[in-house]
């Protein structure tokens, strides 16, 4: 312990920043919501796996796990003397299961999971360091129908949870890079044309920054310095940025453009995914932003962000990636805490106060009708203090009135 470390004890009941107790009724609500979401995934053929909270860091941080390496708590396993990590994301664990223990099971493999993830630090806008995570992974299919399936299943899960009017934002994280590559605006291509490495790297960074900020002027100003280009960026780039919007309109705009082959392939795939989703869920709101690439860096095809209605924010994320052993995979992860904020509150439970001496059979029958029965344990127990909505009178539940203290 260094001199400036705290020596006093924290007040009793104080929790570390970003770690909270869920109290009644929130804890029950979250648990019920998780099971509702999981039931929807189960109904779409996804089978539950439950990886452990701790595993060796080598396997936890492999593949897509590298993206959360900095956010992963580490601790020493006294049994093996190896370092273990406390998972910050469940997807890498599901990938490990798919590649090893379920490596010989027929593809496509449909797996779902629900559990807690922990991270070393929260952020100012998302201070939580323990979060529930629920999701699906569809491993071993490169079909557009697979991407559509995880999106449709997530939308149905949200609908079952009472979230109406969610929007699926589709982005194409590989499009910007593909376009720059086709235009000859990569570090190796620029070097081949005599630009030195450092200026080439600066140029590419500036191009990506301009695209990320949706600033075609900035991009074209930089690109001009490398003219002539193999692709007419001055024509394409503003049109691609403007295309962002409702999915079908964005696809129509893309269809009208003269895209380089590799970019055309990405656009065609997006069109296939959107059509497959639309065929299954005619009412789902979908937007498409072809030049957005903020998705997790490991996405290799469409990326999804699910937004709740109004200002309820991001409810989940997903998209196509390569799983271990280069298996094509797609998936979707939902954030139950965010979904809970977007969902209508459930009906308050019926909580029945049973005075001293009530027969057990009476209460068992009422429990079977959905009442939570609360037995008086002493004459001092009172229905309102114990937050009961009902009291048993002459064998029947009646609402608790003001007088019943």
Site for a second copy in 34-53 (CB under 8 A): 35, 38, 42-45, 47-53
Nearer to a second copy, 30 or 314 (CB): 30
By CB under 8 A, the residues from 309 to 338 that bind a second copy are 324
Q: Does 28 bind a second copy (CB under 8 A)?
A: yes
Q: Could you write out the DSSP letters of every residue in 121-174?
A: ---SS---SEEEEEEEEEES---HHHHHHHHHHHHHHHHHTT--S-EEEEE-TT
Q: Are 339 and 308 in contact (CB under 8 A)?
A: yes
Q: Minimum Å distance from CB 336 to a second copy?
A: 11
Q: Minimum Å distance from CB 35 to a second copy?
A: 6
Backbone angles phi, psi at 294, to 5 degrees: -80, -5
Q: Does 66 bind a second copy (CB under 8 A)?
A: no
Contacts of 184 (CB under 8 A, 6+ apart): 190, 193, 226, 229, 230, 231
Q: Does 15 bind a second copy (CB under 8 A)?
A: yes
Structure token digits, residue 66? 């590298």
**Among residues 66, 70, 77, 230, the one that binds a second copy under rule CB under 8 A:** 77
Q: Are 170 and 274 in contact (CB under 8 A)?
A: yes
Q: Does 234 bind a second copy (CB under 8 A)?
A: no
Q: Could you write out the DSSP letters of every residue in 311-338?
A: T--EEEEEEEEE-GGG-EEEEEEE-HHH
Q: Does 242 bind a second copy (CB under 8 A)?
A: no
Angle between helices 144-160 and 261-280 (to 10 degrees): 40
Q: Are 284 and 153 in contact (CB under 8 A)?
A: no
By CB under 8 A, the residues from 170 to 199 that bind a second copy are none
By CB under 8 A, the residues from 279 to 298 that bind a second copy are 279-281
Nearer to a second copy, 111 or 203 (CB): 111
Nearer to a second copy, 111 or 182 (CB): 111
Nearer to a second copy, 24 or 228 (CB): 24
Q: How many residues bind a second copy (CB under 8 A)?
A: 96
Q: Could you write out the DSSP letters of every residue in 159-193?
A: HHTT--S-EEEEE-TTHHHHHHHHTT-SHHHHHHT
3-state secondary structure of 299: strand
**Among residues 188, 235, 360, 401, the one that binds a second copy under rule CB under 8 A:** 360
Nearer to a second copy, 230 or 279 (CB): 279
- CA distances to 118, 133, 323, 389 from 86, in Å: 7, 14, 21, 41
Q: Does 398 bind a second copy (CB under 8 A)?
A: no
Structure token digits, residue 161? 């949870």
**Among residues 233, 236, 374, 392, the one that binds a second copy under rule CB under 8 A:** 374
Q: Minimum Å distance from CB 394 to a second copy?
A: 21
CA 355/CA 343 separation, integer angstroms: 36
Q: Does 97 bind a second copy (CB under 8 A)?
A: yes
Structure token digits, residue 357? 């001496």
Q: Does 84 bind a second copy (CB under 8 A)?
A: yes
Q: Does 221 bind a second copy (CB under 8 A)?
A: no
Q: Does 21 bind a second copy (CB under 8 A)?
A: yes
**Among residues 33, 61, 114, 343, the one that binds a second copy under rule CB under 8 A:** 114
**Among residues 213, 225, 294, 367, the one that binds a second copy under rule CB under 8 A:** 367
Q: Minimum Å distance from CB 101 to a second copy?
A: 6
- Which strand ranges, in their side-by-side order, compose the sheet holding 372-375? 372-375, 351-354, 390-393, 396-399
**Among residues 14, 125, 311, 347, the one that binds a second copy under rule CB under 8 A:** 14
- CA distances to 2, 111, 245, 278, 377 from 44, in Å: 54, 10, 29, 17, 46
Q: Which stretch binds a second copy (CB under 8 A): 196-204, 298-306, 378-386, 396-404?
A: 378-386
């Amino acid at each position: 312990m260094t001199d400036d470390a705290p020596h006093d004890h924290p007040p009793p009941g104080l929790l570390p920043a970003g770690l909270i107790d869920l109290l009644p009724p929130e804890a029950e609500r979250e648990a019920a919501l998780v099971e509702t979401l999981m039931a929807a995934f189960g109904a779409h053929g996804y089978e539950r796996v439950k990886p452990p909270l701790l595993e060796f860091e080598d396997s936890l941080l492999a593949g897509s796990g590298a993206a959360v390496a900095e956010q992963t708590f580490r601790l020493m396993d006294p049994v093996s003397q190896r370092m273990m990590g406390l998972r910050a994301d469940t997807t890498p664990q599901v990938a490990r299961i798919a590649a090893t223990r379920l490596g010989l099971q027929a593809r496509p493999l449909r797996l779902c999971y629900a559990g807690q993830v922990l991270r070393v630090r929260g952020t100012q806008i998302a201070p939580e360091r323990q979060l529930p995570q629920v999701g699906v992974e569809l491993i071993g299919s490169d079909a557009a129908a697979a991407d559509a399936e995880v999106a449709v299943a997530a939308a149905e899960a949200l609908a079952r949870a009472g979230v109406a009017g969610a929007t699926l934002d589709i982005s194409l994280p590989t499009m910007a890079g593909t376009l720059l590559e086709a235009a000859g605006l990569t570090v190796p291509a620029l070097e081949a044309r005599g630009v030195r490495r450092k200026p080439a790297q600066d140029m590419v960074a500036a191009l990506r920054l301009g695209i990320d900020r949706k600033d075609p002027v900035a991009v074209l100003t930089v690109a001009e310095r490398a003219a002539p280009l193999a692709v007419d960026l001055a024509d394409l780039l503003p049109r691609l940025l403007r295309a962002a919007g409702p999915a079908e309109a964005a696809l129509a705009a893309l269809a009208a453009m003269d895209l380089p082959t590799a970019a055309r392939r990405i656009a065609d795939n997006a069109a296939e995914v959107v059509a497959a989703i639309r065929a299954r869920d005619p009412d789902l709101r979908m937007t498409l932003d072809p030049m957005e690439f903020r998705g997790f860096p490991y996405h290799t095809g469409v990326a999804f962000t699910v937004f709740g209605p109004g200002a309820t924010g991001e409810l989940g994320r997903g998209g196509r990636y390569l799983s271990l052993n280069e298996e094509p995979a797609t998936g979707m992860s939902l954030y139950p805490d965010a979904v809970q904020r977007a969902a209508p509150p459930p009906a308050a439970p019926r909580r029945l106060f049973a005075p001293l001496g009530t027969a057990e059979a009476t209460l068992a029958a009422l429990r079977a009708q959905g009442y939570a029965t609360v037995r008086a344990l002493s004459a001092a127990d009172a229905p309102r203090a114990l937050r009961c909505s009902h009291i048993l009178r002459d064998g029947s539940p009646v609402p608790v009135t003001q007088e019943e203290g």
